[in-house]
């Protein structure tokens, strides 16, 4: 591994742990993360209404007579956004390129996350036996994988010949 | 670094689906392996060594020789700690030449390193139970510092570190980091003949 690739990895882990500690801090969690999660729940609830599901959204919980999902950390896309933020922030690029990458990446992650919540609700309501596997292994990995693939695309654009190729 | 065209995306999807199937099928056996390693880690630092971890196919039961035999034993679903292997497999699947010996060898090596992190994660999970979830027993044996340390270690692994570990292992071990992907000897000799 080249020196700047090692440096990227070190910066990535340091940034990720620092951001995790910030997000896990109760005042930040209560004043930033929980309100964001409520907005995500409201969005998913509205979309479920639009496809004919009789759901009620209360805070971070989406429920009906069939099933209920409570959106916690790990299901609100924040974890994928932190990984994206740490990766883009640690990669050598201009501030403008980073901001564009973060903006588009956040939209991609959150659109995918809304699809995750809606599909998990529908799986829980109509195919409950599959809920656990989709909740744990499938959707969490898909959302993180999407964030990483977005980062790879972005980094190949902003630095096609440096860090990306290890030369 | 691979540019993600439709072929690469398809390789990633195939790798992801195959990895989910393998992970689901292998989890009961793999859980025993992880439980054995985590038990060894815990007992190495325990005085006296009293923790026993037993995988039963669904979760891992935490037992201690100094627990009241009548009290229920906590159970931990290990699959919550190990599914980042699916992410690792999908990432190695998007590498150029995913079936090359070098890619497969590095994927296996990354999987081996990841299994050590799984054992450490399970040991951390057990410690987070010891320090905070056993009521009076926890308060008698552990202080606030230990509660915060093991609590943060456990939560950070579940929240972001398990994914970061998969990404970090792939980033460090993907072929092409030190040298370009080797081409076939025929193409290489043609190139030499031209130059």
Please report which confidence band the pLDDT of residue B70 belongs to, taking 50, 70 and 90 as the band edges: confident
The three-point CA angle A81-B164-B31 to 5° equals: 125
pLDDT, averaged across chain B: 88
Q: How many CA atoms lie within 13 A of B109 on its CB side?
A: 12
> Which residues lie below 8 Å from residue B141, measured CB to CB, with a gap of 6+?
B130
pLDDT digits (tens, 9 = 90+) for B137-152: 899 999 999 999 999 9
Per residue in B139-190, pLDDT tens? 999 999 999 999 999 999 999 999 999 999 999 999 875 544 444 444 445 5
**Domains of chain B by residue range:** 6-119+162-194
pLDDT at B187 (0 to 100):
47
Mutate to test the interface with A, among B114, B164, B179 (most CBs of A within 10 A): B164
Structure tokens at A124: 């829980």
Q: What pLDDT digit, counting tens, does each position of B71-120 carry?
A: 888 889 899 999 999 999 999 999 988 999 999 999 999 999 999 999 99
Calculate ∠ Cα B12-B168-A157, nearest 5°.
Answer: 65
A33 touches chain B (CB under 8 A): no
Per-residue pLDDT in tens (0 to 9) along chain A, 167 residues: 788 889 999 999 999 999 999 999 999 999 999 999 999 999 999 999 999 999 999 999 999 999 999 998 878 899 999 999 999 999 999 999 999 999 999 999 999 999 999 999 999 999 999 998 899 889 999 999 999 999 999 998 887 555 554 43
Q: What is the residue extent of each domain of chain A? A: 3-159
Closest chain A CA to residue B87? A141
Assigned token pair, B89? 């497999």
Cβ-nearest to B1 among A2, A141, A165: A165
Q: Taking the C-alpha atoms of A49, A50, A51 and A53 in order, what is their torsion angle to the nearest 10 degrees? A: 10
Say yes or no to pLDDT of B193 above 60: no
């Amino acid at each position: 591994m080249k020196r700047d690739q090692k440096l990227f990895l070190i910066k990535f882990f340091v940034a990720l742990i620092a951001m995790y500690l910030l997000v896990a801090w109760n005042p930040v969690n209560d004043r930033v993360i929980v309100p964001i999660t409520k907005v995500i729940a409201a969005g998913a609830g509205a979309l479920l209404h639009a496809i004919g599901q009789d759901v009620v959204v209360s805070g971070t919980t989406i429920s009906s007579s069939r099933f209920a999902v409570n959106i916690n950390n790990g299901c609100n896309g924040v974890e994928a956004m932190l990984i994206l933020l740490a990766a883009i922030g640690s990669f050598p690029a201009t501030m403008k390129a980073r901001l564009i990458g973060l903006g588009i990446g956040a939209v991609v992650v959150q659109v995918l996350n809304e699809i995750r919540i809606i599909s998990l609700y529908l799986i829980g309501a109509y195919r409950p036996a599959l809920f656990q596997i989709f909740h744990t292994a499938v959707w969490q990995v898909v959302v993180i994988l999407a964030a990483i693939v977005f980062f790879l695309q972005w980094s190949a654009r902003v630095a096609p010949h440096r860090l990306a190729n290890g030369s | 670094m691979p540019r993600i065209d439709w072929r690469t995306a398809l390789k990633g999807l195939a790798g992801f689906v195959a990895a989910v199937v393998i992970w689901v099928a292998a989890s009961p056996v793999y859980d025993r392996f992880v439980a054995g390693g985590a038990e060894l880690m815990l007992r190495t630092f325990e005085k006296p060594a009293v923790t026993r971890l037993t995988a039963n196919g669904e979760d891992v039961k935490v037992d201690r020789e100094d627990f009241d035999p009548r009290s229920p034993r906590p159970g931990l679903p290990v699959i919550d700690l190990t599914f980042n292997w699916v992410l690792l497999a999908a990432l190695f699947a998007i590498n150029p030449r995913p079936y090359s010996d070098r890619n497969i060898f590095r994927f296996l090596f990354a999987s081996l390193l990841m299994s050590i992190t799984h054992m450490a994660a399970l040991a951390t999970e057990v410690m987070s139970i010891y320090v905070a979830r056993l009521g009076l027993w926890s308060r008698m044996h552990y202080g606030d510092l230990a509660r915060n340390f093991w609590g943060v270690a456990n939560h950070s692994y579940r929240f972001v570190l398990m994914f970061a570990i998969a990404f970090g292992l792939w980033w460090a071990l993907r072929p092409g980091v030190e040298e370009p992907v080797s081409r076939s000897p025929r193409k290489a000799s043609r190139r030499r003949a031209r130059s």
